[in-house]
Chain A
Amino acid sequence: QKEVEQNSGPLSVPEGAIASLNCTYSDRGSQSFFWYRQYSGKSPELIMFIYSNGDKEDGRFTAQLNKASQYVSLLIRDSQPSDSATYLCAVNTGGFKTIFGAGTRLFVKA
């Protein structure tokens, strides 16, 4: 089992819809969870981070964490073509060790 798993996609949604991106992780001791957005040919940039169970909202983005199920998700409301990118889930398992998933490609159709 991979340490951080994501569906590679592509996930295609129409403009204005909700995009739902999912991530599972294997280390139950993980404490910090991150979503990075990476445009093609660019470096990753942080979208959201979450440390506690439940939901965390920031504008059109909501991160959801369920530690019992070892599951973290990112919802993007009112999706825009500019949201088309690869979304990387990252999980910190302690100290320096942050493991990245392979990413989910999102395509928002205008």
Chain B
Amino acid sequence: NAGVTQTPKFRILKIGQSMTLQCAQDMNHNYMYWYRQDPGMGLKLIYYSVGAGITDKGEVPNGYNVSRSTTEDFPLRLELAAPSQTSVYFCASSYEGSTEAFFGQGTRLTVV
């Protein structure tokens, strides 16, 4: 099983550019999440989804958008990239909201 797959692993963006971080899971999990992790910090929830067609904001949603058209895929869109969005982004999925989360390998994003 591939588990949770994120692409790309690394990316450098210029200020004002846009990009989409891809995330796919093959475990048939209903719950999917996007977190960001700044150096020395814990994970902050950006957006989450409890199933196809259902998304909602987490703690730090500003500057991001998501969609969930299928159970498997949960892309994260960055519009008008800013230096404050320099971070490591993790996608995760879980069977239920209160159970173990499985994480992708992360995307290291630098905005210059």
With known contacts A88-B43, A102-B42, A103-B42, A31–B98 Cβ distance under 8 A: yes
Kindly identify which residue among B40, B99, B103 contacts A44, using a CB–CB cutoff of 8 Å.
Answer: B103
Point out residues on B near A: beta carbons under 8 Å.
31, 33, 35, 40-45, 48, 50, 56, 90, 97-101, 103-106
Point out residues on A near B: beta carbons under 8 Å.
4, 8, 31-32, 34, 42-46, 49, 88, 90, 92, 94-98, 100-103
- For A94, list chain B residues within 8 Å (CB): 97-98
With known contacts A96-B48, A96-B50, A100-B43, A43–B98 Cβ distance under 8 A: no
Is B97 within 8 A of A43, CB to CB? no
- For B41, list chain A residues within 8 Å (CB): 102
Complex CA gap A44/B56 in Å reads 23
Given contacts A46-B100, A100-B42, 19 further A-B contacts (CB under 8 A): A8-B40, A34-B100, A42-B105, A42-B106, A44-B43, A44-B101, A46-B101, A88-B42, A95-B97, A95-B98, A96-B31, A96-B50, A96-B56, A96-B97, A98-B45, A98-B97, A98-B101, A102-B41, A103-B42
B56 CB to closest chain A CB (Å) equals: 8
Complex CA gap A67/B99 in Å reads 18
Kindly identify which residue among B31, B42, B103 contacts A45, using a CB–CB cutoff of 8 Å.
Answer: B103
Complex CA gap A92/B45 in Å reads 13
Kindly identify which residue among B33, B99, B104 contacts A43, using a CB–CB cutoff of 8 Å.
Answer: B104
A-B pairs, top 4 by smallest CB distance, nearest first, are: A100-B42, A43-B103, A96-B97, A100-B43
